[in-house]
Chain A
Amino acid sequence: MKRIFPIFMILLLCATAQAQQSFLDVTAPGNRQLQLAITTAKNLSGQQSPETEKVICDVLQFDMTLAGPFSVRTVPGKGDGGGIRPGEFDLAPWKSAGVDLLVKSGYSLSGGSITLECRLYDVMKKKELTAKRYTGNIRDLRKIVHTFADEIMRGVTGEKGPFTGKVAYVSKRGGNKEIYLMDYDGHNAQQLTRNGSINLNPEFSPDGRELVYTSYKRGNPDLFRRELFSGTEAAISARRGLNITGAFAPDGKKIALAQSREGSSNIYLIDKSGRQMARLTSSSAIDVSPAWSPDGSRIAFVSDRMGKPQVFIMNADGSNVRRLTANGAYNVGPRWSPKGDRIVYCRQEGNGFQIYGIDPDGSNDTRLTSDGSNEHPRWSPDGRFITFSSKRGGKEGIFVMRADGSGQTRVSQGSSEDSHPTWSTRW
């Protein structure tokens, strides 16, 4: 019996394994875009405002078009009954028109405030996916609509969009390189620093409430930390020499940066108050631009220890250094995606730079840009998009694109030179 049992079990396992593989494949070519219809916002009560309706429609259309999975069209929304709530209109005309998703909205203006009600419907399933009502100042209308765009992304994909995040960047619009803040789509720009010096490399804290950046306002490139809501700031690394390319760790408590102490630049770790914690690299070469993996276990950085600048990866304690980029003679500016599956960086090609994406194991090295010179790639907090600066078409400006390089769109406005963008988490 003791001999029979193993044989019996082996036969049973074989039979089970065969059973588990019993399925048929169903495949289809292509990748259809979901047909998303956005109806004109309906005036629910109070004064009608065509300007408000236009802003609502424009913001939703821009966000959803950039998102990628949608083919967006804006329609008057008449002919289905006209209401926005379930039961107040008929979904059948939309279904017969081939619409997959329908956005309906209504607003009420009262003095300087607005109440906006937005609803997303799955036309195929005849189901309401999400419904939100926002009340706020009319000046915050764009932010309110971006908030609902985030909800649309959650309703359709299961994960919120990044459209309410802010982009910090360097602009020369006042003559000097100052730090500015704007919506991700280029609206509502506001100046953060006014020191009349050179300010570079802004980076958000994980919660989006703080910013570190390098400033020459004291004559030396020092690293400053600024609290965005209070406006207070302090120098957290002001050693003689370089204090540059600071990056918050995912826990928000540590900052990795490049300091030059003994002639060469190396990667160091400090806490938020500037207290020195550890030295991570100790080569005689130039090591700069640390970029944390989302789990905080590894750091990508740039080093010329092999002659030319290349991207390397090490453990967060400085051990196990290995080269990441194998192609190209000059690779800089790595940034790890929030999901951890990709790293973007810049490669020098000809007289400019192009943005590439690569897996952390060095595979799938893919070029993402090709027009003009493109630098400083930074991920959106959800990893769907990348913002970067580009010199295409003349002056340097801020662009956004999808993670696969598609949908490249200029968002910075005006004729000033804008660069070094970085995308904050949702506010």
Chain B
Amino acid sequence: MTATLHRRDPRFGWMLLFSILIHLTCYLILVKYQLYSFQHAEGPVYYVDVVSLPVANPQAGSPSQPGGAPTPAKREEMALPARSPQQPIAKPKTPQREKSPSSAETSRQFEERLAKIEQQVGAKREAAAIEALRAKVAGRGGEAQLGVPGGKGTEAGSDYAGYIRSRLTDAFRTTIAFQTKSPEVMVRLTIDRSGKVAGIRLERSTGDRIFEDAVLNAIAKAEQTFVPPPGGKRFEYSYRFAPEGVSKK
């Protein structure tokens, strides 16, 4: 007796469906556990702190204004003159001198140049008036808040992890102390929506108590400079503290 084995060739449709399912599963896992953003956080982060002000929320579209409601972005505009455009501009009085043929020609040129200036000024006034009207027509006038509604302008920018690291580094410079050769501490920092430290979890430590205290002191000191996380959400991230230039064997 002989038996013939028939191998079924997988059809393209089934393979495609299988592939889609696998990709979809992986994508859902990454999205669910918020692992998608880690590849961005791994890269070097450069934070430029010019005036020690919070980074403006890009969604709000307006820089922060401490102590009051945010104002719209300032536009480059020309100051309006105090007088109305209908009023004639006073012409400069020329001294009464004895006129020569050449001086009469100079006077005509001067009048032509003055007329050109008057035209330019008039055109600019018209443009400014049109711009003001456009803003008024938009319905909010000079008090309008630009950007996405809900943005307060006091939240940090999208690279909040880098911003926090910058603040921690500044504080850590003043608190660093250790007694062992290569101390290292990894903490998981939780910051609530108001920008306060809601939790510090010591994830890993080489056991140098003085260094651990220095890290905690740095966090306490840096907390005073934190601004709320973007989007009004809690923020959680891990930071590894170590002395500069010291590496593990």
Seen from chain A, the residues whose Cβ lies within 8 Å of a Cβ on chain B are: 4, 7-8, 11-12, 15, 18-19, 21-34, 68-69, 122, 124-125, 156-158
Q: Complex formed: what's the CA distance from A404 to B217 in Å?
A: 26
Specify which of B25, B42, B179, B241 is in contact with A27 (CB 8 Å cutoff). B241
Residue of B nearest to A14 (CB): B26
Q: Do the beta carbons of B173 and A28 come within 8 Å of each other?
A: yes
B146 adjacent to chain A (CB < 8 Å): no
Q: Complex formed: what's the CA distance from A68 to B239 in Å?
A: 28
Residue of B nearest to A27 (CB): B244
Q: Do the beta carbons of B175 and A32 come within 8 Å of each other?
A: yes
In this complex, the interface size class of chain B, counting residues with CB under 8 Å from chain A, is 35 or more
Q: Complex formed: what's the CA distance from A26 to B207 in Å?
A: 18
Specify which of B162, B172, B179 is in contact with A24 (CB 8 Å cutoff). B162
Seen from chain B, the residues whose Cβ lies within 8 Å of a Cβ on chain A are: 22, 25-26, 29-30, 33, 35, 38-39, 41-42, 45, 161-162, 165, 168-169, 172-179, 186, 207, 209-210, 213-214, 217-218, 220, 237-245
Q: Do the beta carbons of A25 and B42 come within 8 Å of each other?
A: no
Q: Do the beta carbons of B176 and A28 come within 8 Å of each other?
A: yes
Specify which of A11, A24, A124, A125 is in contact with B239 (CB 8 Å cutoff). A24
What are 12 of the A-B contact pairs (CB < 8 Å)? A4-B22, A11-B29, A19-B38, A22-B41, A24-B165, A24-B239, A25-B242, A28-B169, A28-B172, A29-B244, A30-B173, A156-B210
Q: Do the beta carbons of A26 and B177 come within 8 Å of each other?
A: no
Q: Do the beta carbons of B238 and A23 come within 8 Å of each other?
A: yes
Q: A18-B38, A156-B210 are in contact. Are A28 and B179 (CB under 8 A)?
A: no
Known: A24-B41, A24-B161. 11 other contacts (CB 8 A): A22-B237, A22-B238, A23-B238, A27-B241, A27-B244, A28-B244, A32-B214, A68-B179, A122-B213, A156-B209, A157-B210
Least distance between B181 CB and chain A CB atoms (Å)? 9
Q: Do the beta carbons of A124 and B238 come within 8 Å of each other?
A: no
Across-interface contacts of A24 in B (CB, < 8 A): 41, 45, 161-162, 165, 237-240
Q: Complex formed: what's the CA distance from A25 to B174 in Å?
A: 17
Q: Do the beta carbons of B22 and A26 come within 8 Å of each other?
A: no
Q: Do the beta carbons of B41 and A32 come within 8 Å of each other?
A: no
Q: Do the beta carbons of B168 and A26 come within 8 Å of each other?
A: yes
Across-interface contacts of A68 in B (CB, < 8 A): 179
Least distance between B20 CB and chain A CB atoms (Å)? 13
Across-interface contacts of A8 in B (CB, < 8 A): 22, 25
Across-interface contacts of A31 in B (CB, < 8 A): 176-178, 243
Q: Complex formed: what's the CA distance from A32 to B26 in Å?
A: 47
Least distance between A301 CB and chain B CB atoms (Å)? 26
Q: Do the beta carbons of A26 and B172 come within 8 Å of each other?
A: yes
Q: Do the beta carbons of A12 and B169 come within 8 Å of each other?
A: no
Q: Do the beta carbons of A27 and B169 come within 8 Å of each other?
A: yes
Specify which of B30, B35, B173, B239 is in contact with A23 (CB 8 Å cutoff). B239
Q: Do the beta carbons of A34 and B244 come within 8 Å of each other?
A: no
Specify which of A12, A23, A30, A122 is in contact with B29 (CB 8 Å cutoff). A12
Least distance between A11 CB and chain B CB atoms (Å)? 5
Residue of A nearest to B162 (CB): A24
Residue of A nearest to B241 (CB): A26
List of 5 A-B pairs having minimum Cβ-Cβ separation, nearest first: A23-B238, A158-B209, A22-B38, A27-B244, A29-B244
Q: Complex formed: what's the CA distance from A8 to B35 in Å?
A: 16
